[in-house]
Homo-oligomer: A and B are copies of this chain.
Amino acid sequence: MRVYDIIAKKRDGYSLSPNEIEALIKGYVDGTIPDYQIAAWAMAVFFQGMDEEEIKALTHQMIISGDSIDLSEIEGIKVDKHSTGGVGDTTTLVLGPIVAAGGIPVAKMSGRGLGHTGGTIDKLESIPGFHVELTNEQFIKQVNEIKLAVIGQTANLVPADKKLYGLRDVTATVNSMPLIASSIMSKKIAAGANAIILDVKTGNGAFLKDLDEAIELAKVMVNLGDNFNRDTIAIITNMNQPLGWAVGNSLEVEEAIMTLQGKGPEDLTKLCLELAAHMFVLGKKTSEFAKGLELAEEMLYGGKALAKFAEFIKAQGGDATVIDNLEILPQAKHMQKITSLHSGYIESIETQEIGRAAMLLGAGRSKQEDIVELGVGIMIRKKIGDQVTKDDILAEIYYNEDEKAQKVIPIIQAAYSFTKEIINKPPLILKTIN
């Protein structure tokens, strides 16, 4: 089997056999197939796509390229969540406590990652004392005892994806439905959960700008989950503006705590409740979505989720008094209000630009070795549909260096578009696929 022939076959629109996909991925991981052949193949996949059997075979090869986590010692149905990313997405910190409080074991492996802000681990580590250096035994014991634990991604999970994603990232082949689906799902499946809820973002702050593409990706992933015996549900959510108010690390922890106190932003709250409801169904805590939603609301508004968050922080060495003392979180040196240059209704927000602004302030990493400034970021104060007059406050920026602040102020101002017409608040949850 020549690699050349496999590339040409895909280029010409034919389906690859499981053996051909196995040869490609194994050869790539063991270094016998060079980057340039895989780059050409990935671009051919970008144009020609893959059918269900190919995606399944690719996902399988990705999974078996490394270790799989065994969560069988954790009692109950393990439900994992994945979001396809966006700007200001604080769901994990809110959702975990809600579903754990409702009895779903949440055994979360997380990373630091690249992006507008740090990863879930960076955010959690902004809580004084909090650490993710647990042994596997400690991790499993903690989940069994309090239903919620977060550990750093230390295992050799899906090395094929690491290598392939790195290559796609520099060859403009990231945005390929089958490659995205297999990348996400291989990691979720290798991470050992029994069921998976997917939050697929669409809009100008998501990598899938187009609703139809998001729906297609969600369908492919749900199908893939089923193929690997993982109960999978996907919701498509609106990322045409940042989710919630906060874009930053300790700012998002503050927002999460406020949300768990029942006084968080409406959209973030709604999304967390919706995701939790699906997780209760997937985890067989409730038989239907409406009951799941009731349970989620009970956990959130009854205070059990907040108590669970405190319990979780304490279990991992953190200062749980943070839930009443937000000021113990890392703070930026300065804050500046950003005012509107126009009057009218907010018609749109260039969400990627908000993300870029947060990155420029120092909230995220563009390279692995970058150091995240935990206290910096943006608080969005006006969103789509809000009426503003000139000089109203659109947002606040939290920053350490004035130079950086001066750079982002015009970016944030330019990200907002206004109209004289009344604009309805856009719907948050666009579709559910299961």
Contacting residues of chain A (25-77) with chain B, CB-CB under 8 angstroms: 34-40, 42-44, 46-47
Cβ contact of A43, chosen from B3, B35, B43, B167, cutoff 8 A: B43
Say if the beta carbon of A422 comes within 8 Å of chain B: no
Q: Which residues of B contact A167 (CB under 8 A)?
A: 36
Question: Are A40 and B39 within 8 A (Cβ)?
Answer: yes
Say if the beta carbon of A241 comes within 8 Å of chain B: no
Q: How far is the CB of A23 from chain B (nearest CB, A)?
A: 15
Say if the beta carbon of A7 comes within 8 Å of chain B: yes
CA distance A250 to B40 in the complex (A): 40
Cβ contact of A40, chosen from B3, B11, B34, B173, cutoff 8 A: B173
Q: Interface on chain A toward B: helix, strand, loop, or mixed SS?
A: helix
Proximity bits, A1-39, B CB within 8 Å = 1, else 0: 001100110010000000000000000000000111111
Q: Which residues of B contact A37 (CB under 8 A)?
A: 39, 170-171
Proximity bits, A231-251, B CB within 8 Å = 1, else 0: 000000000000000000000
Say if the beta carbon of A172 comes within 8 Å of chain B: yes
Cβ contact of A171, chosen from B36, B47, B172, B173, cutoff 8 A: B36
Contacting residues of chain A (389-411) with chain B, CB-CB under 8 angstroms: none
Cβ contact of A39, chosen from B8, B36, B46, cutoff 8 A: B36
Question: Are B39 and A170 within 8 A (Cβ)?
Answer: no
Q: Which residues of B contact A43 (CB under 8 A)?
A: 11, 39-40, 43-44, 47
CA distance A342 to B4 in the complex (A): 36
Contacting residues of chain A (139-186) with chain B, CB-CB under 8 angstroms: 167, 170-173
Cβ contact of A34, chosen from B3, B4, B35, cutoff 8 A: B35
Question: Are B11 and A46 within 8 A (Cβ)?
Answer: yes
CA distance A34 to B39 in the complex (A): 11
Q: Beyond the given A40-B172, A43-B47, please list 9 additional residue pairs across the A-B interface where CB-CB is below 8 A.
A: A4-B172, A7-B172, A34-B35, A35-B35, A35-B36, A37-B170, A39-B39, A39-B171, A47-B47
Name 26 interchain pairs, CB-CB below 8 A, sorted by A.
Answer: A3-B170, A4-B170, A4-B171, A4-B172, A7-B172, A11-B46, A34-B35, A34-B36, A35-B36, A35-B39, A36-B36, A36-B38, A36-B167, A36-B170, A36-B171, A37-B39, A37-B170, A37-B171, A39-B39, A39-B43, A39-B171, A40-B40, A40-B171, A40-B173, A44-B172, A47-B47
